[in-house]
Chains A and B, each alone.
Chain A
Amino acid sequence: MQQGGVLAGYDPGNWFCEMLRPGQQSDPALSLLLDRLRLIPIEALRSRAADAERDLLERGITFTVYSDATAIDRILPFDLIPRVITAQEWRILEAGVTQRVRALNLFLYDVYHDRKILADGVVPRELVLGNAGYCQAMIGFDPPFGTYVHVCGTDIIRDEAGRFLVLEDNARTPSGVAYVVENRHMTLRVLSDLMTGLRVRGVDEYGLRLHRAMAEIAPGGISDPQVVLLSPGIFNSAYFEHVFLAREMGVPLVEGEDLLVKDGSVWMRTTAGLAPVHTIYRRLNDDFLDPDAFRPDSALGVRGLMEAWRRGKVAIANAVGTGVADDKAVFAYMPRIIRYYLDEDAILPNVDTCSCAEPDGLAYTLAHLHELVVKPVAESGGYGLLIGPHASKAELEEFRTLLKSNPANYISQPMMKLSVSPTLCDDGVKARHIDLRPFAVTGRDTWVLPGGLTRVALRAGSLVVNSSQGGGSKDTWVLA
C-alpha cells in the first residue's frame, strides 16, 4: 500500500488497525481520509497538535491531578488523527449497547424486587446480595420506567479479527462524555480540512438528550421540571465535565450546600429564596449523597435526600445502588443476564471473564497467570491489576499469593487484544492501542451518542488507556 505524509513508515503489526482495516472492503470515506492524511507533512501535523494542546489548556478542558500538596490541571492529551467507525459497525455497536442497558436495568429491578434471577440460580445469590454495590435502601423502590442506569458508559475493545468485545460496563457515574464533544470542537478548530465533505455524525445533541431524559423521570404532574447537576465542587477532578454538562443542559450546577430537603421536598437556595428541584443528575458517589442514609460524615451531600426520593418528590440519576450491576464479578454473568431477561444472545460479546470467586475460575487463573490479566473487582482506573505476559517471575509469584489470600476480589481475562490507530508520537505516527466508550442515555427509552470516547494508550505497546495512566483521547467519527 502506498503511504506518504504522516503515514510514512506506519506499521500496525498484527493488530487490527482502525484506519487501514486489512482484509476489509475499502470504505470510500476512509479512503478519502487516508489520502488527505498522506498529503499532510508531519511537521504541519505537529504544529497543529501543539495548537490543540495549548488550546485545551487555555480553555481549561482539564482534569485535576492531586498529589500531596499541589493540584495540577492536566489536559487529557488529544491525538488529532481521528478514529473512524463505519455506519455498519455503528449499527451493531448501538444495538449492542442498547441491549446491555436494557438488561442492566431489568437486572437491577429484579435484584431489588423479586430476585427471580437469583432464585433461578443464574447469578449466585451471594455475589449480588453480599456485593458492596448492593444497596439495602433500594429494595422495593420503583424508579420511573424501571430505569436505574440513566447514563451508561460501555467500555468496548476490538480484537485482531476486528470483533467488538465488551470489557466493562460503567453504570454508576461514568465520565468522559465532555471530551467526546470537546474533541469534535477541537477537530473542527484545528483540522477541519480533514473532515470537509465527509458525512460524520454530530455529537452536539448530548446535552439536549440528557436534559430530555432528566425531564422524563421527574415526578409526575410538573410541566417544566427543574433539573440540576449535583457536583462535589470545583476541586473534583472531573469538575470540567460537570460544568460542561450543566451548560449543555442549561441547568444550574449545584453543590450539596445549595440544596436542602424541607417539608419532604428538595429545594435549592436561590437569590429569590428557595426554589423547588425535581430531578438531580448527580456526579457524586452513592456514599456521599445523603449523610442520613449513608456516610454520616459526608459534607458533600444533602441530608434527607434518599427519603425525598423514595417518596417520589424528586428523581435522582443515576439511581443509587447500580454498582451491583457494573461490578467486575457480575460482569462475567452479563451474557447470561441478557439471555435471561431478553431471551436474546448478546449482540456484543463479553471479553472472556473468569470469576476467581468460583473454584474453577480460580484454578484456571492460577494455572494461566502468566498469560492473563487479573483485576481487582473493586478498583477502577487501571489500578492494582496484573498483566501476566508483562510481569516478571517475582511479580507473578507475589500476585499469586495476593490472589490466593482473597480470590473473591479478583477476576481474570485473557490478554486484551486492543485494536490500534495511527497516533502522533515523538518518533512519528505510530500504531497505538485504543478502546471505545459509547455513552447511552436512558429515560423512557435509550439513546446512544454516535461514537463515544476513544481512549488511546500513548505509550508504545501499552494496553492501559486510562487518563491516570498515560492515556489520551481521539475524536471518534461515526460515518453517516
Chain B
Amino acid sequence: MSEAVSVSHHLIARHAGSALWLARYMERIENLARLLDVTKTYAGDGEVDRNWLSLLRINGDDDEFFAKHGDADAVSVARFYLLDAANPSSVQTAIACARENARTLRALISTEMWLQINVFHARIRALGECDIAPENLSAVCAMLKEGVQAHGGITEGTFYRDQCWHFYMLGRHLERTDQITRLIDTKFNALLPDAATDATIDAGECNALLRAAAGYHAYRREHPHGYLPREVAGFLLLNGAFPRSAGLNVAQLDWHLNQLRVRYHLRNCVSALERLDDLQSMLGNQTIDSILAFGLSPFLDAVQREVAALHADIMTHLCGG
C-alpha cells in the first residue's frame, strides 16, 4: 500500500510562480550552453559571422548585442552570453534569477537542490575572460550543461512531488517548447531569407541543429537514410519521444495541468487548460508538410505566442499574478 500524498497542503501562489521560474531559468542555461557550443563547433571560416549572428537572432538579442559590440564573433558573443551580467539573456542573469527563485523556495525544495544551485551559481559568477577564449569555450559549455543536468537529476531524485513539483515541471516544459521553436526558426528562417527549401540546407547544418538539441542520435535511428531538412524540422517539432520536441513538452504540460486540476482541485487551471487545448491542436493536427505549406516561420511564431500566453495565464490565475 502506498501512502497518499496529502492534497490538503496549501501552496502559496507566489511560491508556485517561483518554482515555475526556477525551472525556466535553469533550462535557459543549458539551452544557451548547447547553442554556444554547437555554433562554435560549426562556425566554419567563411560563415563565422552568419553563425554567431543566428545565435543572437534566436534569442532576439541583436539590438542589445550591437548596442555594446561591433562584430558578432566567437569571443564577443561568448562574452555577451557568458559574462555580461547586465544582459538579461546571459547565463549570469539566468543563474542569478534561478538562485533568487530557489532562495524564495528554500523551505520547499530539497537541501541538495539548494546546495547544488548555490555552488553552481558561484561557479558561473567566477567565469572570466579566459573562459571565453575559443579554446576554452567548449569546456565551459560542458560545465554549464552538466550543472543544469546535475540540477535536473537532483530534482528528479529529491524534490517532493506535490503541487510545487508540478509547477516546477510546467516551467521546464514551457521553456523547452519555446526554445525548440526558436532553434528551428534560426536555422530554417534566419539563415534562409527566402522560405526553407531542402536544397539550401546542407547536412552540416542539419547535423548542427540536431546536436544543439541533443537529438542527433535519435534522429539517425528514426531516419537512417540521410537528412531531409523537412524531416529534421518535423522531428524537432513533433516527435513524441524526443525530450525536447514541442509535441512531447506540450503533452507533458497537459499532464501536469490535469494533475493540478484533478488531484489538487485547482479550479483555476481551467483557463490554462483551454489555452493548452489550442496549442495541442496546433501541433497535434498537423504534419510537417502541412506546417511547411502554412509557412514554418509564421507557425513557429504562433507557437511562441501561445506558449507566452499560456505562461501568462498560469501566472495570473494560479501564481498570484
User: Secondary structure of the B side of the interface?
Assistant: helix
Task: Report the Cα distance A275→B11, complex, angstroms.
Answer: 10
Task: Report the Cα distance A246→B11, complex, angstroms.
Answer: 13
Q: Quick check: is B223 within 8 A (CB to CB) of the other chain?
A: no
| B265-A272 in contact (CB<8A) | yes
Q: Quick check: is B119 within 8 A (CB to CB) of the other chain?
A: yes
Write out, one digit per residue, whether chain A residues 173-211 have a CB within 8 A of any chain B CB (1) or not (0).
Answer: 000000000000000000000000000000000000000
Q: Quick check: is A258 within 8 A (CB to CB) of the other chain?
A: yes
8 Å CB contact of A272 from B106, B114, B167, B264? B264
Task: Report the Cα distance A258→B107, complex, angstroms.
Answer: 15
Within 8 A of A (CB), among B89-113: 100, 103-104, 106-107, 111
Q: Quick check: is B133 within 8 A (CB to CB) of the other chain?
A: no
Q: Quick check: is B118 within 8 A (CB to CB) of the other chain?
A: yes
Task: Report the Cα distance A268→B12, complex, angstroms.
Answer: 7
Query: Which residues of chain B have C-beta atoms less than 8 A from A401's C-beta?
Result: none
| B103-A269 in contact (CB<8A) | no
Q: Quick check: is A364 within 8 A (CB to CB) of the other chain?
A: no
Query: Which residues of chain B have C-beta atoms less than 8 A from A226's C-beta?
Result: 10
Within 8 A of A (CB), among B63-118: 100, 103-104, 106-107, 111, 114-115, 118
| A247-B13 in contact (CB<8A) | no
Contacts A269-B12, A271-B16; A60 near B107 (Cβ below 8 A): no
List the B residue with the shortest CB-CB distance to A273. Answer: B268
Task: Report the Cα distance A275→B7, complex, angstroms.
Answer: 13
Contacts A59-B114, A59-B118; A271 near B11 (Cβ below 8 A): yes
Within 8 A of A (CB), among B251-299: 260, 264-268
Task: Report the Cα distance A252→B10, complex, angstroms.
Answer: 8
| A243-B107 in contact (CB<8A) | yes
Query: Which residues of chain A have C-beta atoms less than 8 A from B115's C-beta?
Result: 58-60
| A270-B268 in contact (CB<8A) | no
Within 8 A of B (CB), among A241-261: 243, 246-247, 252-255, 257-258
Interface centre among B12, B13, B318, by most A CB within 10 Å? B12
Task: Report the Cα distance A60→B12, complex, angstroms.
Answer: 23
Query: Which residues of chain B have C-beta atoms less than 8 A from A268's C-beta?
Result: 10, 12
Query: Which residues of chain A have C-beta atoms less than 8 A from B31's C-beta?
Result: none
Query: Which residues of chain A have C-beta atoms less than 8 A from B111's C-beta?
Result: 59
List the A residue with the shortest CB-CB distance to B8. Answer: A224
| B13-A270 in contact (CB<8A) | yes
Query: Which residues of chain A have C-beta atoms less than 8 A from B114's C-beta?
Result: 59-60
Within 8 A of B (CB), among A208-243: 226, 234, 239, 243
Count residues of B near A (Cβ-Cβ below 8 Å): 29
| A234-B12 in contact (CB<8A) | no
User: Secondary structure of the A side of the interface?
Assistant: mixed
Query: Which residues of chain B have C-beta atoms less than 8 A from A243's C-beta?
Result: 106-107
Write out, one digit per residue, whether chain A residues 261-278 have a CB within 8 A of any chain B CB (1) or not (0).
Answer: 000000011111101000
List the A residue with the shortest CB-CB distance to B166. Answer: A271
Q: Quick check: is B138 within 8 A (CB to CB) of the other chain?
A: no
Q: Quick check: is B320 within 8 A (CB to CB) of the other chain?
A: yes
| B100-A234 in contact (CB<8A) | yes
Task: Report the Cα distance A271→B10, complex, angstroms.
Answer: 7
Task: Report the Cα distance A410→B104, complex, angstroms.
Answer: 40
Query: Which residues of chain A have C-beta atoms less than 8 A from B15's C-beta?
Result: 252
Interface centre among A226, A253, A270, A271, by most B CB within 10 Å? A271
Range for the number of chain A residues in contact with chain B: 20 to 34
Query: Which residues of chain A have C-beta atoms less than 8 A from B266's C-beta?
Result: 271-272
A248 to chain B, nearest CB (A): 9
Task: Report the Cα distance A445→B163, complex, angstroms.
Answer: 36
| A252-B12 in contact (CB<8A) | yes
Contacts A58-B119, A59-B114, A59-B118; A271 near B104 (Cβ below 8 A): no
B226 to chain A, nearest CB (A): 48
| B118-A60 in contact (CB<8A) | yes
8 Å CB contact of A271 from B13, B106, B122? B13
B223 to chain A, nearest CB (A): 42
Query: Which residues of chain A have C-beta atoms less than 8 A from B100's C-beta?
Result: 234
| B268-A258 in contact (CB<8A) | no
Query: Which residues of chain B have C-beta atoms less than 8 A from A269's C-beta?
Result: 12-14, 320
Query: Which residues of chain B have C-beta atoms less than 8 A from A252's C-beta?
Result: 10-12, 15, 107
Task: Report the Cα distance A234→B319, complex, angstroms.
Answer: 18
Query: Which residues of chain A have C-beta atoms less than 8 A from B13's C-beta?
Result: 258, 269-271
A53 to chain B, nearest CB (A): 14
Within 8 A of A (CB), among B8-29: 10-16
| B268-A271 in contact (CB<8A) | yes
B251 to chain A, nearest CB (A): 22
8 Å CB contact of B103 from A59, A239, A246, A257? A239
List the A residue with the shortest CB-CB distance to B101. Answer: A234
Interface centre among A254, A255, A268, A272, by most B CB within 10 Å? A272
Query: Which residues of chain B have C-beta atoms less than 8 A from A253's C-beta?
Result: 12, 106-107
Contacts A60-B114, A253-B107; A271 near B163 (Cβ below 8 A): yes
| A247-B14 in contact (CB<8A) | no
| B318-A246 in contact (CB<8A) | no
| B103-A270 in contact (CB<8A) | no
| B10-A270 in contact (CB<8A) | yes
B106 to chain A, nearest CB (A): 4
Interface centre among B107, B119, B267, by most A CB within 10 Å? B107
List the B residue with the shortest CB-CB distance to A247. Answer: B107
8 Å CB contact of B14 from A246, A257, A273? A257
Query: Which residues of chain A have C-beta atoms less than 8 A from B104's C-beta?
Result: 234
B202 to chain A, nearest CB (A): 46
| A258-B103 in contact (CB<8A) | no
8 Å CB contact of A246 from B107, B264, B319? B107
B85 to chain A, nearest CB (A): 13
B194 to chain A, nearest CB (A): 47
| B10-A272 in contact (CB<8A) | yes
Task: Report the Cα distance A243→B114, complex, angstroms.
Answer: 12
List the B residue with the shortest CB-CB distance to A253. Answer: B107
Task: Report the Cα distance A255→B268, complex, angstroms.
Answer: 23
Contacts A59-B114, A60-B114; A271 near B264 (Cβ below 8 A): yes
List the B residue with the shortest CB-CB distance to A268. Answer: B12
B150 to chain A, nearest CB (A): 14
| B12-A254 in contact (CB<8A) | yes
Query: Which residues of chain B have C-beta atoms less than 8 A from A273's C-beta?
Result: 267-268
| A58-B11 in contact (CB<8A) | no
Task: Report the Cα distance A252→B15, complex, angstroms.
Answer: 9
5 closest Cβ contacts across the A-B interface?
A: A246-B107, A270-B10, A243-B106, A253-B107, A247-B107
8 contacts between A and B (CB under 8 A): A59-B118, A234-B104, A243-B107, A253-B106, A268-B10, A271-B16, A272-B268, A273-B268
Q: In the complex, given contacts A234-B103, A269-B12, what are 13 additional A-B residue pairs having Cβ atoms less than 8 angstroms apart?
A: A58-B118, A59-B118, A60-B114, A60-B118, A247-B106, A253-B12, A258-B13, A269-B14, A270-B12, A271-B13, A271-B16, A271-B260, A272-B266
